[in-house]
Amino acid sequence: MAPTPAGNRKTRVHVVSDVHGNARDLARAGEGADALICLGDLVLFLDYADHSRGIFPDLFGVENADRIVELRTARRFEEAREFGARLWGGIGADRASVIETAVRKQYAEMFAAFPTPTYATYGNVDMPPLWREYAGPGTTVLDGERVEIGGWTFGFVGGGLRTPMRTPYEIDDEEYAAKIEAVGEVDVLCTHIPPEVPELVYDTVARRFERGSRALLAAIHRTRPRYSLFGHVHQPLVRRMRIGATECVNVGHFAGSGKPWALEW
């Protein structure tokens, strides 16, 4: 990491989201920056580009991973749930412990790769209760909270909203809106999911609209932050657009690109 800003020297932060197991590039993501910001989704359950990678194929094999991706991509979510339930049924009562063991292994690697300082919030596939065990002194975890970096105020809201996918950290709209409200007026609003704007929530490869937040969109209109930064949609129709005074930026699918998005002021 770069040294702490001093005098009139510019501040530079690197921002990543949707890391999904890419620890190798994560270890280099803070190079040349004063801080790293991570917008969540550290865990890799299933790689939709390479079905051999992730917790799911490790447990059930690539052929079954191919099948569940096929069902989900076709939006046959009920069939996907039934298919997954049959597979998990073979594991029995140990399902929770098997998942936790696999997630812990990934978290140990991911958090060890974080540089100092890192400011992070959860994604929808993350398991927040485990983060406090792995976040070292150089990593600050924030959710519905603010922090100052280089004279600017950054607000963080983690997680996703309820979907048929039923990923681990999905919350009700009201709870999400309360966290947005708690953050208040900031220079940079950092979230995992985007504001509810069609161009920002449509995934061109999955060919579906992901869930964005109306509360986040309303906060952008109301509080006019300089930037709204987010991830979640891996291949968005539009990566960047202005909403009033605010520059809205999808910082990219880090698992695929291995490159952080840079902000300097």
What is the value of pTM for the model shown?
0.91
Q: How confident is the model at residue 205 (pLDDT cuts 50, 70, 90)?
A: confident
pLDDT in tens, 45-76: 988 888 999 999 999 999 999 999 999 888 89
Residue 230 parent element (H or E):
strand 227-230
Report the pLDDT averaged over residues 25-49: 95
Q: Give me the pLDDT at residue 96, please.
A: 83
pLDDT in tens, 73-88: 888 989 998 998 899 8
Range with the lowest mean pLDDT among 8-17, 92-101, 256-265?
A: 92-101
State yes or no: pLDDT of 8 exceeds 80: no
The more confident residue out of 194 and 91 is: 194
State yes or no: pLDDT of 219 exceeds 60: yes
Q: Whole-number mean pLDDT of the chain?
A: 94
Domain boundaries, the chain: 11-255
Q: How confident is the model at residue 2 (pLDDT cuts 50, 70, 90)?
A: low
Report the pLDDT averaged over residues 91-118: 92
How far is Cα 157 from Cα 64, in angstroms, rounded to an integer?
34
CATH superfamily of 11-255: Metallo-dependent phosphatases (3.60.21.10)
Report the pLDDT averaged over residues 191-219: 96
The more confident residue out of 93 and 63 is: 63
State yes or no: pLDDT of 1 exceeds 80: no
Q: Which long-range contacts (CB under 8 A, 24 or more apart) does 149-153 make?
A: 149/11, 149/13, 149/34, 149/35, 149/119, 150/5, 150/11, 150/13, 150/34, 150/35, 150/265, 151/11, 152/11, 152/187, 152/188, 152/226, 152/265, 153/185, 153/186, 153/187, 153/188
pLDDT in tens, 180-192: 999 999 999 999 9
